[in-house]
Amino acid sequence: MFLGFVVALALAWRMGRFSPIFDNNSEPMGVLLAALVIFATGLVDDVREISSPAKVTGTVIAGLFLVWFGATMFYFRVPFVDVFVLSDDWVPLITILWLIGMSQAINLIDGLDGLAAGIVAIAAASFFLYSRRLDTLGVLAQPNIGPLIAIIALGVCLGFLPHNFNNAKIFMGDSGALFLGLLMAVSTSVVGGRADPNSQAYIPGQTYFFLAPLFIPLFILGVPILDMIFAIVRRTVGRQGLATADKGHLHHRLVNLGHGQRRSVLILWLWTALLSGFVLYPIFTDARTALIPIGTLAIALSLYTVLHPEVRRIRKDSRSGNSD
């Protein structure tokens, strides 16, 4: 995946269409170096299994490259509160924390064949469409490397998925998961963190709500982020180390419910698509709410998850076994 990213970035560099992103702009080099550092960190862990502090250190170094070369957010909007302009003192901290959160979320969800790659593919496609919409509305500062990184992430995942879906021939490992987390961290921060907070080009009450870079990924990447939060709470309550592996993740629970690996992956893909639709629907349709169509689909998917014939059969067999 990393090699695919390098090739794609090199091809974009040679294409005149992307010259504003590469000419007199240090951000592409910063993203490339950060990607190299975080990929190498994950690769060493895949081969030798390094400690959690060592992995965090590698992630911090990658984040410092992003800061050094300027691939950071400038400000962020908290809906209904205010716009916060990041000072030079806060930019490194926010960038590194953002990167750690994103990379760990993708790393933790990488528990079944094809799961992480599929989720990132859907999220990257959704965020690319979102960023293009902001560009159309004239509220996205240009040049912006975010849409390019998002579409490259999509291409990398689509090329990897046929070899990674169950039964997988190639495994992602920490190197791939941390790398994809970095791509999503960069694309979300440099798009959401540079959308003009004072622009009136968008439709009040709709696009406004989605101009917050801390809000968009919580929905588009809601599945891995929620899984990460649940894992932190679960391990804290159980007095376990945060890096301690367990079988309590969302995908493990779906498998235990009776869905099997492939169906569990597809269900979580669908949830990612639904959450992405919740973000994109009001922006592209100018509708006041996405709750009715997206909510209807969410109810249908929930019923499918808990009432699938295989789930009902396993539940029935479990009750029969307990009665015996």
Instruction: Quickly list DSSP for 216-276.
Output: HHHHHTHHHHHHHHHHHHHHHHTT--TT---S-SHHHHHHHHT-HHHHHHHHHHHHHHHHH
How confident is the model at residue 255, as a pLDDT? 86
CA distances to 8, 13, 159, 192, 319 from 225, in Å: 27, 32, 24, 17, 34
Residuewise pLDDT in 10s, the chain (324 residues): 899 999 999 999 999 888 989 998 899 999 999 999 999 999 999 998 888 899 999 999 999 999 999 888 887 766 667 777 778 888 899 999 999 999 999 999 988 889 999 999 999 999 999 888 888 877 777 788 999 999 999 999 999 999 988 887 888 889 999 999 999 999 988 887 777 666 655 554 455 555 555 677 778 899 999 999 988 898 888 878 777 777 888 888 888 888 888 999 999 999 999 999 888 887 777 666 667 788 889 899 989 888 876 776 776 666 665 555
Q: CA 178 to CA 82: how far, in whole Å?
A: 32
How confident is the model at residue 205, as a pLDDT? 47
Q: Tell me if 139 sits within 8 A of 200, measured CB to CB.
A: no
State phi, psi for 75 to the nearest 5 degrees. -160, 165
Give residue 188's identity as a one-letter amino acid code.
Answer: T
Q: Tell me if 203 sits within 8 A of 286, measured CB to CB.
A: yes
Q: CA 175 to CA 26: how far, in whole Å?
A: 24
Residue ranges per structural domain of the chain? 2-242
How confident is the model at residue 308, as a pLDDT? 77
In three-state secondary structure terms, 187 is helix
